[in-house]
Structure 1
Amino acid sequence: MSDTVSFGYEEVSPEEKTERVGSVFSNVARKYDVMNDAMSGGMHRLWKDRFVRRVKPREGEAILDMAGGTGDIAFRLAERGAQVTVSDINQDMLDVGVERAMQRGIDGLVWSRQNAEELSFPNRFFDAYTIAFGIRNVTHIDKALSEAFRVLRYGGRFFCLEFSTVEWPGFKEVYDAYSHKLVPKIGQAVAGDAESYRYLIESIRKFPKMPEFEAMIRGAGFVHTKVEPIMGGLVAIHSGWKA
């Protein structure tokens, strides 16, 4: 097994990746949602709405929203009556989420700092596990998937929203040029941080392609796995069930 992992286009030790990813999200936490709007033209809101519709949260069920930092997914889940635990490895992101929840008058969410690779929750504790735009930043994705499987009850469902590989001819080239050349500049202009956004774009390029990631989800034990590409694979919704 390789003793290095990817941090964007660099190969670094697992410990260094964990530390550097933490620094990235601490740096961008306060501008994270503003930058999401700027980079996607607001499209991320529609993707998240679609994602939560696929999850089908139900009244009273327990859902773990991993890498949920600023609360975007959790707020949508809670609106439908779910009991949501919002977890993130980065306290700065959680702090922003707590502030946003208070501003919106959203009560009842549980906020818990957690490492996706080593969750502190008991076995078979949640009805659903969601993670949006977070799994590509995990140091060992296979460990995070195994933990997701462990904490889900039998019949529980796993849903992941993540950037993927654009497959539409023409659009792929335009998107590549936009993301590599313009996104870091937008990051500098809006958040005063080009390097963090350069890493975030590079991390998308290094993330497994849709069939490969689906195979990883199956390898963690999930069944009835499915991939739903959006905008030609710009983003994708991955899902699976714990039988």
Structure 2
Amino acid sequence: MTETVPFGYQDIDPAEKQGRVGGIFSNVAAKYDIMNDVMSGGMHRLWKDRFVRRVKPRSGEDILDMAGGTGDIAFRMVKSGANVTVADINQDMLDVGIERAVDQGEDRLVWSCQDAEKLKFPDRSFDAYTIVFGIRNVTYIDKALAEAHRVLRYGGRFFCMEFASTEWPVFGEVYDAYSHHLMPRLGQMIAGDADSYRYLAESIRRFPKPPVFEQMIRDAGFVSTKVEQILGGAVNIHSGWKA
């Protein structure tokens, strides 16, 4: 059988996924931050604040924010005095982040176009690796996790925040209806792109359940893994350490 990987509800050739996902984020880059506010009712800001509190960035340490795109997480972490590198495979997303940094007078961030599955950084380059709402879009999650482990120093920490299907019964039904029907309509109204937001909703359903993903993190070599659920598991903060 020919190998396939998930792309929303479709199964496609692995060689196609990176380009198709790249096209989606190029399409939505300019409106990405506005859509995050609209789709979450502003709650994504609270989730990201909570995430950064868990990371506990410290002055002088080196942090890689993978799939950092427009810089939402990096802008929060750099306030600690940490040396933050924002990496993303999509230059259009990075360009939006760079423009935001210029507007805010923030010149401490490093911006780098990188493939999460094939990072160009040397082994043991960072004290922490973060990835927020990005790992479900890579072609091979296990390769991205292996690269995260490789570029971390011993004692380094891994933090990932990602969506999943909620375990709250009533809320789960509302959440499914919202994400499958209303989210694409909002995408069309605000960003002029329903298909990209339909994919983003579908990709959540295809992402491994939290216990399965936690095992993948352990399989990549991380220890002391944990999962912190938000909204009954609709959003999860995963963490682990490189021993």
Q: Distance in 2 between matches of 1:124 and 1:154?
A: 7
SS of structure 2 residue aligned to 1:175:
helix
1:103 is aligned to: 103
Structure 1 residue ranges (4+ consecutive) displaced by more than 6 angstroms after TM superposition: none
2:117 is aligned to: 117
The C-alpha deviation readout for 1:211-235, integer Å capped at 9, x for no partner, is 0000000000000000000010110
| TM-score, normalised by the number of residues in structure 2 | 0.99
Among the aligned pairs, what percent are the same residue? 74
1:90 is aligned to: 90
Contact 1:58–1:81 at 8 Å: present in 2 too?
yes
Closer, same or farther: CA 2–56 of 1 in aligned 2, 3 Å: farther
1:189 is aligned to: 189
The count of corresponding residues between Structure 1 and Structure 2 is 243
1:65 is aligned to: 65
The C-alpha deviation readout for 1:67-123, integer Å capped at 9, x for no partner, is 001000000000111100000000000000000011111111110000000000000
Shift of 1:146: 0.0
Q: Distance in 1 between matches of 2:60 and 2:165?
A: 36
Q: Distance in 2 between matches of 1:100 and 1:30?
A: 11
Q: Distance in 1 between matches of 2:165 and 2:180?
A: 14
In structure 2, the gaps of 5 or more residues are none
Matches within 5 A, 1:1-243: 3-243=3-243
Q: CA RMSD in A?
A: 0.8
Q: Distance in 2 between matches of 1:106 and 1:39?
A: 27
| TM-score, normalised by the number of residues in structure 1 | 0.99
Q: Distance in 2 between matches of 1:40 and 1:222?
A: 31
In structure 1, the gaps of 5 or more residues are none
Q: Distance in 2 between matches of 1:207 and 1:105?
A: 37
Q: Distance in 2 between matches of 1:205 and 1:52?
A: 25
Closer, same or farther: CA 102–53 of 1 in aligned 2, 3 Å: same
SS of structure 2 residue aligned to 1:156:
strand
SS of structure 2 residue aligned to 1:124:
coil
